Structure 1
Amino acid sequence: MRTALASIPDGAVVIVALSGGADSLALAAATAFEARSRGMQVTSATIDHGLQDESADAAASAAAKAEALGIRSRVERVQVAGSDAGTEAAARDARYPALRRIAAEERAAAVLLGHTLDDQAETVLLGLARGSGAASLQGMAPRREDEDGTVWLRPMLGVRRATTEAFCAASDLEPWHDPHNREHRFARVRVRENVMPVLEAELGPGIAEALARTAEQLREDAEAFDEIIHETIEDIVEHAEAGISVSVAALAANPAALRNRIIRLVAHSEFGASLTRTQTLEVARLVTDWSGQGPIDLPGCSAARVGGRVVFTARQ
């Protein structure tokens, strides 16, 4: 906890995302304790998604617990829109903009999130099930800064959920138990209650820690790759009419892993497109298996080989 807050200057404002559950309640208490010695101002932000009949009461209770810890509290009600990705994703899509807005209004140095090592392990398993590559196995970063300057910190990624529950019990803090955390229609709940216990029983203890270590190692690799990619892109990318182009020879000279990352990064940075594995490989074939094939339709853009370059163009 202290290490995570070391980058925040004394006297700064921090936001604690407080659901009222054991994890966020333990985080709020620990942050309040640390803030006292550093003159930091702590505000809790409780987001009421309105997904349950008693959600307003739960949000008010969380705010009251924050006030009892000496923390100024804020409660925000958000509208959760329908989503093809499901209720969890829709709630997340509503929650993070609200937290970002609160952080801006409070001029906060960071928003603290109460994700634990168990949450990290579950995230890695869900990413593995999606099969979307190393990026999805990196889990949640301990620190992330958005383009608008919002800083997100997860100080408890090394802490087990059982520890936060024990802390709350020892501190006479009564956490809220979200009914959604027992509903097996949510994939994360099934991983938590069905998959993880089986893995622990069949493979031995320490599975959660091993998954969290895997995420950390993959993030380190990804950071190294990103540095290489950005250095490489400066030399091989040129702006083209209504788009951007990449040297075929330079792409061909790179290993497949680096080539595919460059393709994905170019599409995302220029057009906001997130390419699937299949789409990425189809673009790569313009370099490695060129036989005169025509343009490839991608989300928001198309890719075509023109002479010695792969040209990405915005779709009309």
Structure 2
Amino acid sequence: MNALKETNFDFEGQTNFYRGKVRDIYFFGNKMAMVASDRISAFDVILPRAIPFKGQVLNQIATKNLNATKDICPNWLEQTPDPNVAIGITCETFPVEMVIRGYLAGHAWREYRDGKRSVCGVTLPEGLKENDKLPEPIITPTTKAHEGHDEDISREEIIAKGLVSEKEYTQLEDYTRKLFQRGSEMANERGLILVDTKYEFGKLDGTIYLIDEIHTPDSSRYFYAEGYKLRQEKGEPQKQLSKEFVRQWLISKGFQGKDGQKIPEMTDDVVNSISDRYLELYEKFTGESFQKQDYNQVNERIKNSIVKAMS
């Protein structure tokens, strides 16, 4: 099956290269070209097989969302010259991720279920069930780990450790709440609920920029709005539109990224089913038909698009 697992280019004028969990990033001084590969990660582990069209799905959704929120916060993106490529400015990254939650799901629910009533310094009320709407959205930041797992951290710890100044952190919180509000409104228009998401920010010449992807199924969790209340009343699982289905498949096979655990086999059927979910997710989120890219000479196409954009 065709998929873009990685790129290995060497451009004229290239100043650095970084391979993240799912992206290959080429630096050109204060500019960067971000290639969205088809790699997939879960529990901070890169899975052994790439998922056809995943990179294209995420890159195109991220572009749509960055363009729809630049009136709230300046962002890094300048152009998207290829289905898998985004070009923009290079910022000094803040060492925290701003996670915001409108509902009690995922990691926050697991912490709550296990008896904790405070997540990242935020106190939660008693009596909540999984996937309940929170009284108001809460910000639960994490450290940004280059390797291994991100760790929960409170506002107070971030400021006390000098990771972000209080003034800048207050600005990050304000941007986070406004971006989440906009994302929620956009999701609502498509019959979806934005459950939780994360934002990353950077700074260039004293200005704070929103960086990376936003409101994608990999960085966010969505529920289908139709039937949400009824499912909650019956105690049934919510119908989700996110990467959570991949995590749940791994959990069902005994894998959560912990030491000694073995990644389950990803058969062609598993890979195809994940790919199909990403395409469904794209069409539900955007309301548009997905135009599958041609994987013939995909590396050459991507390389040429970056050369042209940087010239």
Q: What TM-score do the two structures reach when normalised by structure 1?
A: 0.25
Q: What TM-score do the two structures reach when normalised by structure 2?
A: 0.26
Q: Which has the higher helix share?
A: 1
Tell which has more relative contact order, 1 or 2 (C-alpha 8 A, sep 6+): 2
Larger Rg belongs to: 1
